[in-house]
Amino acid sequence: MVYCRNTGGRYGKATIEGYYQKLSKAFVELTKQASCSGDEYRSLKVDCANGIGALKLREMEHYFSQGLSVQLFNDGSKGKLNHLCGADFVKSHQKPPQGMEIKSNERCCSFDGDADRIVYYYHDADGQFHLIDGDKIATLISSFLKELLVEIGESLNIGVVQTAYANGSSTRYLEEVMKVLNHCCLTVIYWNIGHHKAQQFHNDQGWWGQALFSTAVEMKIKQSAEQLEDKKRKAAKMLENIIDLFNQAAGDAISDMLVIEAILALKGLTVQQWDALYTDLPNRQLKVQVADRRVISTTNAERQAVTPPGLQEAINDLVKKYKLSRAFVRPSGTEDVVRVYAEADSQESADHLAHEVSLAVFQLAGGIGERPQPGF
């Protein structure tokens, strides 16, 4: 509402109804262009984490129901906020939320309690759980935007802001296949740094799912939608609607959900095909108890340890032992714990690397309690 008022109404009406109508109109206009038939791509199970997203989505769904049918779970009628449900639970436990039964290859998503984050997931034919997180959301959206820009003949910059936790496969795909600008920022203050850095690009898509488009880009797209011949005008109009579908004022899981659903429908992608854009490197996250987390200081967006002396050198030596590997450590923002992240070409290697880095942290950064043990 503040953004609507500060832009003199250019961004939309400063009311809740205005929000519902703007996003839903853009979504319906986009999905009208989809070539898929039936409701194969138009039904979605949504875990609302017993939070505010359930209330707002319930009010909003009739506006976009001709383009998408949503089935709400953990809607606040029973259960506690974020308890055994929500985006954090699903990502951390690598399993569906409580109270949601998933059929094979059925598309599902989870919001967090205040509905500013989102993850997607599904079960394959063998019952294996697959998580589709912010990296693959960013990849799907940036690839779609780039395709539309190529179609209308514009070469505008697309930039993606990630943190050190972004899987190495996603970063390589964005940089080497997509050829988009990529920037890594601090995890703890991702929102402030990420938002600021995104403003230096023409577009950004990150974990919180916020995309930013410069005013110059918005004007150029609008002009293209009015002036180009039929096929290019159609692509420009899609871009115009995508811009309207993003919430550029704040992270917004409902907006992100509609953007993702529109792109999947327009590209005719199943959730499995989306997941197959690239394969995540196996990884492991651990934490080590220390007497004082302040002994750890980092640089290069938390990817390198500055103190204590010798720790980064130890990590470098350990990383050399494994293929396609990397590892970093960072102090927790709230407790005397050091968080360890490792990835490699196999889960076994990622597990071994994480354990060895944990031992180095324990020895060099004042570990307390029991020494880290192998096995997960």
Report yes or no on 258 lying in a domain: no
Residues 121 and 150 in one domain: no
pTM: 0.85
Tell me which amino acid residue 14 is: A
Last residue of a domain, one of 133, 152, 168: 133
Report yes or no on 88 lying in a domain: yes
Q: What is the pLDDT of residue 353?
A: 97
What's the CATH number where 322 sits?
A: 3.30.310.50
Last residue of a domain, one of 90, 109, 133: 133
Residues 172 and 121 in one domain: no
Residues 128 and 143 in one domain: no
What's the CATH number where 91 sits?
A: 3.40.120
In the chain, alpha helices (H): 2-6, 16-31, 52-64, 87-93, 134-152, 168-172, 190-198, 215-227, 230-245, 253-267, 271-275, 311-319, 347-364
Q: What is the pLDDT of residue 194?
A: 38
Residues 107 and 36 in one domain: yes
Q: Which of 241, 219, 193, 190 is nearest to 67 (CA)?
A: 241
Q: What is the pLDDT of residue 184?
A: 75
Q: What is the pLDDT of residue 122?
A: 98
Report yes or no on 69 lying in a domain: yes
Apex 21 CA angle, 255 and 8, nearest 5: 90
Report yes or no on 198 lying in a domain: yes
Residues 244 and 292 in one domain: no
Q: What is the pLDDT of residue 209?
A: 60
Residues 2 and 109 in one domain: yes
Q: What is the pLDDT of residue 32?
A: 92
Taking every pair of Cα atoms in the chain, the longest distance, rounded to a whole number of angstroms, is 69
Residues 109 and 179 in one domain: no
Residues 128 and 188 in one domain: no
Residues of the domain holding 10: 1-133
Residues 303 and 356 in one domain: yes
Tell me which amino acid residue 201 is: F
Residues 30 and 129 in one domain: yes
> Could you tell me how many residues make up the chain?
376
Report the Cα 240 to chain-centroid distance in Å: 22
**pLDDT per 10-residue tile (average), the chain, 376 residues:** 91 95 97 68 92 97 95 96 94 92 96 95 96 92 91 82 86 86 59 42 43 85 83 90 93 95 95 94 93 95 95 98 96 92 96 97 96 83
| Phi, psi of 323, deg, nearest 5 | -80, 145
Residues 1 and 114 in one domain: yes
Q: Are β-strands 337-343 and 326-331 bridged in parallel, bridged antiparallel, or unpaired? A: antiparallel
Find residue 299's DSSP bridge partners.
304
- Structurally, how many domains does the chain consist of? 3
Q: What is the pLDDT of residue 161?
A: 84
Residue 184: strand, helix, or coil: strand
Proportion of the chain in helix, strand, coil states, percent, rounded to 5: 40, 15, 40
Residues 233 and 143 in one domain: yes
